[in-house]
Structure 1
């Protein structure tokens, strides 16, 4: 579970996030929607302990971001769409083995987990090829697998469908739904409003650093047409 409690973030005199408050339950997918510069990536970087908030805090499975950042990091898997973070002179499997070691996983645990991820992300045919030979979309899938090698309870994906074709994007979102089915908390952002609507349980709309609306997707789909929901979202962002 993620609890975001009164988060503010300033860069010098610029207020980037303003009093952000919402929870993400276990077995829930929350989509972040907003224009470029709205503050989505900054919020995810704060939750992942990459940067500190100016005020407020975050609880990840009851661990406080400010008081126990090490335990927070153990519980989180994170990927930013434009930062694949892979070693191109290693194979896909070797990359995963390396990051498993960084997470203090045993050899047996590593082998079993890599086999699971290779099957889930469908890269059996190139698991033992050098990452430097891969397309942008192939690297993205390996990077997502790398981010969850330690089987975290919380998953943060910033534009996980970036650079992916339709089939590869489906594999990624199937995995996000798999995370939900396995009692994980997921936050993701995407430039695709359709993907946000299709795969989120709730949508958090951020405009100029503030949460302006939180949608329960199922409730709105029962009341409004797809076109009406699109118009609401467009007007908010």
Structure 2
């Protein structure tokens, strides 16, 4: 479970996130929508305890990011968009294993998880190759596996299908659906409204640091009288109910 409670984040005179609140239930895939610079990544960085809220609080599985950051970090897996942050001189397996070792996974369990994720993400052909020569899509698969290797209860995914081809993106969406069946709590940030429509029943939309909508996709369609999610997104961002 994730509960964001009246969270704001200021950097000097600039307010990146202002009084944002929403709740993600256990076993739910919840969409976080917004343009680049809207405050999505800042919000997710606060969830991951990388940034501290200026005001408000966030609870992950009942633990506060401000009072219990270590407990929060034990329970989450986080994938940020942009640079995947892999070690180019290490193989894909070594990159994933290094991250898993930070969570104290025993060697046998660690290799079992790597092999399982390698099969699910179709990485078997390059799992033991150095990542320096990998394509963007191959690196993204390794970053996803690194995020999930310790089998976290709460998964934060910021634009996770960036760089993936159609087949790989479909495989990843099936993996997300499988994790939901296992009861994991998943926050899914994406610009792809098709992905949101397939994976999420409820969403929050942030624009210029403030909440513009939180609720079900069905209620969003009803409120704006528009079926297409891209058109709804633009109507919310522009503050218009076309």
TM-score (norm 2): 0.92
Shifted more, 214-223 versus 84-93: the winner is 214-223
1:217 matched residue in structure 2: 217
1:34 matched residue in structure 2: 34
Offset, 1:72:
0.1
Give the 5 Å matches for 1:151-230: 151-217=151-217, 226-227=227-228, 229-230=229-230
1:89 matched residue in structure 2: 89
User: For 1:184-203, what per-residue CA distance to the aligned partner results, in whole angstroms no more than 9, with x for missing partners?
Assistant: 11112112122122211211
Give the 5 Å matches for 1:12-161: 12-161=12-161
State the alpha-carbon separation in 2 of the partners of residues 196 and 11 from structure 1: 30
Unmatched 5+ residue regions in structure 2? Answer: 238-242
Offset, 1:230:
3.7
State the alpha-carbon separation in 2 of the partners of residues 206 and 145 from structure 1: 28
C-alpha distance 7-225 of structure 1, shift in aligned 2 (>3 A): closer
Offset, 1:67:
0.7
Offset, 1:225:
6.5
Would the aligned equivalents of 1:81 and 1:162 in 2 still touch at CA under 8 Å?
A: yes
SS in 2 for 1:18: strand
Unmatched 5+ residue regions in structure 1? Answer: none
State the alpha-carbon separation in 2 of the partners of residues 221 and 108 from structure 1: 48
1:3 matched residue in structure 2: 3
State the alpha-carbon separation in 1 of the partners of residues 126 and 170 from structure 2: 19
RMSD: 1.7
User: For 1:93-139, what per-residue CA distance to the aligned partner results, in whole angstroms no more than 9, with x for missing partners?
Assistant: 11111111111110111111111111111111111111112110010
Count of matched residue positions in the alignment of Structure 1 and Structure 2? 236
State the alpha-carbon separation in 2 of the partners of residues 72 and 127 from structure 1: 29
Would the aligned equivalents of 1:197 and 1:203 in 2 still touch at CA under 8 Å?
A: no
Shifted more, 216-225 versus 35-44: the winner is 216-225
SS in 2 for 1:37: coil
C-alpha distance 225-55 of structure 1, shift in aligned 2 (>3 A): closer
2:240 matched residue in structure 1: none
User: For 1:19-60, what per-residue CA distance to the aligned partner results, in whole angstroms no more than 9, with x for missing partners?
Assistant: 111111111011111111110010000000011110011111
SS in 1 for 2:125: helix
State the alpha-carbon separation in 2 of the partners of residues 32 and 103 from structure 1: 27
State the alpha-carbon separation in 1 of the partners of residues 194 and 72 from structure 2: 31
